[in-house]
Amino acid sequence: MVYHPRPYGAGYAQALPTNGEEISYTLPFGKQTAFYIPAPKNEQLPSRLWVAFCGNGSLALDWTTILAGYPNPNDAFLLLDYPGYGKCQGYASIASTRASTDAALNTLAKRLALSEDEMEPRLCAIGHSLGSAVAIDFARRHRVQRVVAIAPFTTLREEAARVITGPLSYLLSRTTTTAPAWLKFANEIQKRKSRCSTGQRTRLSLCGWAAS
The three-state DSSP-derived secondary structure of 150-170 is ECCCCEHHHHHHHHHCHHHHC
Give the torsion sign (CA, 96, 101, 104, 109).
negative
Write phi, then psi, for 177 (nearest 5 degrees): -110, 120
* Residue 48, pLDDT score: 94
* Residue 40, pLDDT score: 85
Q: Which residues contact 54 (CB under 8 A, 6 or more apart)?
A: 60, 62, 63, 79, 80, 81, 127, 128, 131
Say if residues 135 and 152 touch (Cβ distance below 8 Å): no
| Secondary structure element (H or E) that encloses residue 98, with its range | helix 94-111
* Residue 45, pLDDT score: 87
* Residue 68, pLDDT score: 81
* Residue 210, pLDDT score: 35
* Residue 185, pLDDT score: 47
CA distance 203 to 206: 10
Q: List, for the chain, all residue ranges whose pLDDT scores fall below the cut of 50.
A: 169, 172, 175-186, 188-212
* Residue 11, pLDDT score: 84
